[in-house]
Structure 1
């Protein structure tokens, strides 16, 4: 998952020709590293408290990004942006990432990724409610309907009624609604602050909120170093260095050098990578229903992305292009 909420509404194009190797490596990062973060979270929460784990991830990543910005002399955030960063941190990090980490204690990483892929549905619906969306065309309505059908396929009657597993699956859908609220709010911010600065601000605010809530729920009682496995600790390190910082660098660079519509294609690849890795490395079950639900949800994302690409062509803004369809990774 991308580890920051959508950035402010800034121009992202640069007049330069990117090299092919750089493009391939950057796309590999947002395709495969983001897809692997769902499994990394599952491994991390095996022995680490979910909220404190996510809080640590974002605080450390935010501090590293802050240090990098300061060293380059680019840390000059507008004071008014701290409220926006706190709002985004509450919805995108505490609300979304916190719920996903909590849910993955009980739900497979593959199912988490597929349910998370419904984000475009919530983005379109909430944007419409706020008056930021044009008319609901047949394609948009079809995309929304397919998204809900895909969820219904992934949560069959045999799964329903299994107590906390059912609650956890629903929590993942609620997490996507939280992210959509934070992303739509951030999209309307006008500022010249670099996206990397705003991302660091969101990480710091979100990490602090996750720690505060985690401590409030008593997760500190589970902080016993002898109970932590190497797999959980290495997974947390992977989430910080690769799931946050590497993909952040790759994603922002691609928005500056590549087509926003092309960058948004990671929305189709990430869930498939997550399902495959969960099956290959964690023995997660992949049934016909899983594949059918995945196909239906990806078709929903594709239909919803068609309108977004037309908007991008008119607006010429990378953030506008990716706002409704790009899954930010976890």
Structure 2
């Protein structure tokens, strides 16, 4: 993608970060019912990383990075993809894809709490409202009888929360680390090294590998979509949008992805959308909005002006 402000390109890019990223939960759920989780993630990211390297070379970009940058991409790849995604895919064996997407949407909340714990950064009043609503939404989500009754559901929930913590810390790590300046190259190294890490994990867990020709058609299609659309096109679209529109508009994917995942999970996988799930989603995503937005809501503007002055939003987008 170019950096030109083409309305058509912008529209296509938003479709990518809304619908494609939202659909990856369902695609992973479909594939993990047949494939071992670490094998699935290893094949996805190692293949995507290699393809990104090829595309980078064809477009004339240098793949040379410093030793420090390589070390940091390995760490970031582990936090986001090796552990963060690999374990999340494993968790999808035990919980619904829409449930996982909603929990993961709480990442800005966890990042804010980590900044408080690690850096002593003060939480602004509007963000405190967001944290409270986020915690209420998560409680409503995990306390459902339908969730508790599923076999190994609490194992899946614990795994998703561990991934959420990993992604959130990764968001802080990349903001402070020396990484390759080209986002495309940076992503290629993160994906490829994470793919190697996941291969090692797959070997240690003694997973049985299989050839793609032996997979069912839904699994084959899911893997192709995860590699080309989820790993390459959507991330390129994300970086394009960060350069041509405001970060607040890009951050709206935080609210749309879980909704897309829930709808697709209901339609393709017959996952239930209960009244409590809908209420939890509304409360949780409202909390995320309070944390992400730069704009004060009229009802709270006097309160926040009195106690905190002008609200300065930190960029929490990963």
Q: What is the TM-score normalised by the length of structure 2?
A: 0.89
2-structure distance, mates of 1:169, 1:135: 29
Structure-1 residue corresponding to 2:288: 301
Contact 1:77 1:193 in 2 (8 A): no
Structure-2 residue corresponding to 1:249: 236
Structure-2 residue corresponding to 1:43: 30
Task: Say if 2:169 is the partner of 1:177.
Answer: no
Q: Which runs of 5+ in 2 are unaligned?
A: 297-310
Shift of residue 258 of structure 1? 1.0
Moved more, 72-81 or 164-173: 72-81
**Superposed, which structure 2 residues align to 1:1-330 within 5 Å?**
18-74=5-61, 75-131=63-119, 134-156=121-143, 158=145, 159-160=147-148, 162-190=150-178, 193-220=181-208, 223=210, 228-306=215-293, 311=312, 321=315, 324=316, 326=317
Shift of residue 23 of structure 1? 0.8
Moved more, 301-310 or 256-265: 301-310
| CA RMSD across the alignment | 2.1
Structure-1 residue corresponding to 2:305: none
Shift of residue 225 of structure 1? 5.9
1-structure distance, mates of 2:131, 2:80: 22
Structure 1 residues 227 and 108: alpha-carbon distance in aligned structure 2, compared to 1, 3 A threshold = farther
Larger radius of gyration: 2
Structure 1 residues 257 and 286: alpha-carbon distance in aligned structure 2, compared to 1, 3 A threshold = same
Structure 1 residues 68 and 17: alpha-carbon distance in aligned structure 2, compared to 1, 3 A threshold = closer
2-structure distance, mates of 1:207, 1:129: 31
Count of residue correspondences: 301
1-structure distance, mates of 2:260, 2:216: 25
Structure 1 residues 107 and 162: alpha-carbon distance in aligned structure 2, compared to 1, 3 A threshold = closer
Secondary structure of the residue aligned to 2:148 is coil
2-structure distance, mates of 1:306, 1:190: 27
Residues 109-137 of structure 1: per-residue CA shift (max 9 Å, x gap): 11111111111111111122221x74112
2-structure distance, mates of 1:56, 1:292: 37
1-structure distance, mates of 2:48, 2:264: 24
